[in-house]
Amino acid sequence: MPLASLVWKLEQFVRLSPVDHVFLHRAATERVRHFAPRVDIVREGEKPTDVHLILSGWAYRYKQLEDGRRQVVSFFLPGDICDVNVFILREMDHSIGTITAVSIADLSREFFDKVAAEHPRIVTAFWWETLVNAAIQREWIMSLGQRTALERIAHLLCEIWLRLRLAGLTRADNCDFPLTQGDLADATGLSKVHVNRTLQELRAEGLIVLKGKTLSVPNLDRLMRAGLFNPNYLHMDHEGRQLDAVGTPSDVVAG
């Protein structure tokens, strides 16, 4: 069920009612679109009309300078919402592109009006999603401004790992990892060559195994230390529920 990741994630934070569930489910199955890998979903300058919910696949948000310099500004994983309420803006200030094949559900203005009027728990959950996304952006700023190449990459891998885990998308100690070294370079502000050097270093220290399109993290704790990673900014806990309390990948969200 492709909606699982979103509901799963939101329920970390707010207990949704059965009515909420039905409502979300309908919204997420009504207007669904599918995209090939490596295509743009939305382009800078366009008028935003809908909010996009990622049902499956990976995507990213990026900005580009006229001379071609390109920066990935965030990654979208299954269950992520692209920007609650963007349609109140006149035009997009960035683009959104797919990494893998992606399915999205379009959420309309009316959907959000209805949420606001009739589903207070979902409102809260969406605010949580919005605030966490803002916190992630801040942490990226921290990484780009202060962390070394090795710390940056280690940090990013930790973040992706935890976000995937929250969406129920990790296996024992590994997960799908469709990003190329070029993608990592665009996200970390490093050159491709240096990303490669740095990945070698992480491998040499046994912090990651990255081959084909899967990433293994033999020891998350060590990787977190290498990236100076403090998970507080993901706000994965609420009312006493702690991230650590949830143990291994599979039962993470059991709650």
**Closest separation in Å from C-beta 78 to DNA:** 20
**Closest separation in Å from C-beta 8 to its own copies:** 19
In the bound state with DNA, the residue whose beta carbon lies nearer, of 109 and 213, is 213
Asked whether 188 and 116 are in contact (CB, 8 A), the reply is no
Q: Which residue has the tokens 């800078």?
A: 44
Interaction mask 150-179, its own copies, x per CB under 8 A: ------------------------------
**Closest separation in Å from C-beta 170 to its own copies:** 23
**Closest separation in Å from C-beta 248 to DNA:** 26
Cα 163 to Cα 182: distance, rounded to the nearest angstrom: 21
Among its own copies, DNA, none, what binds residue 128 when CB lies within 5 to 8 Å by partner kind? its own copies
Two tokens, residue 220: 């998350």
Q: What do you get for the CA distance between the two ends of the chain, in Å?
A: 20
User: For the chain, what's the residue count?
Assistant: 255
Cα 248 to Cα 174: distance, rounded to the nearest angstrom: 12
Distance (Å) of CA 213 to CA 58, 106, 162, 173: 13, 28, 18, 14
Q: Which residue has the tokens 């403090």?
A: 230
Q: Please choose, from the candidates 1, 5, 2, 7, the residue with its C-alpha nearest in 3D space to the C-alpha of residue 23.
A: 7
Number of residues lying near its own copies (CB under 8 A): 51
**Closest separation in Å from C-beta 32 to its own copies:** 25
CA 41, distance to chain mean position in Å, is 16
Q: Which stretch binds DNA (CB under 7 A): 11-19, 176-184, 222-230, 241-249?
A: 176-184
> Rounded to 5, what percent of the chain is helix, strand, coil?
50, 20, 35
Of 49, 200, 232, 248, the one binding DNA by CB under 7 A: 200
Interface residues with DNA (CB under 7 A)? 38, 148-150, 180-182, 189-194, 196-197, 199-200, 212
Interface residues with its own copies (CB under 8 A)? 44-45, 61, 63, 65-66, 69-71, 73-74, 83, 85-86, 88-91, 93-94, 116, 123-124, 127-128, 130-131, 133-135, 137-142, 144-147, 186-189, 228, 232-233, 235, 237-239
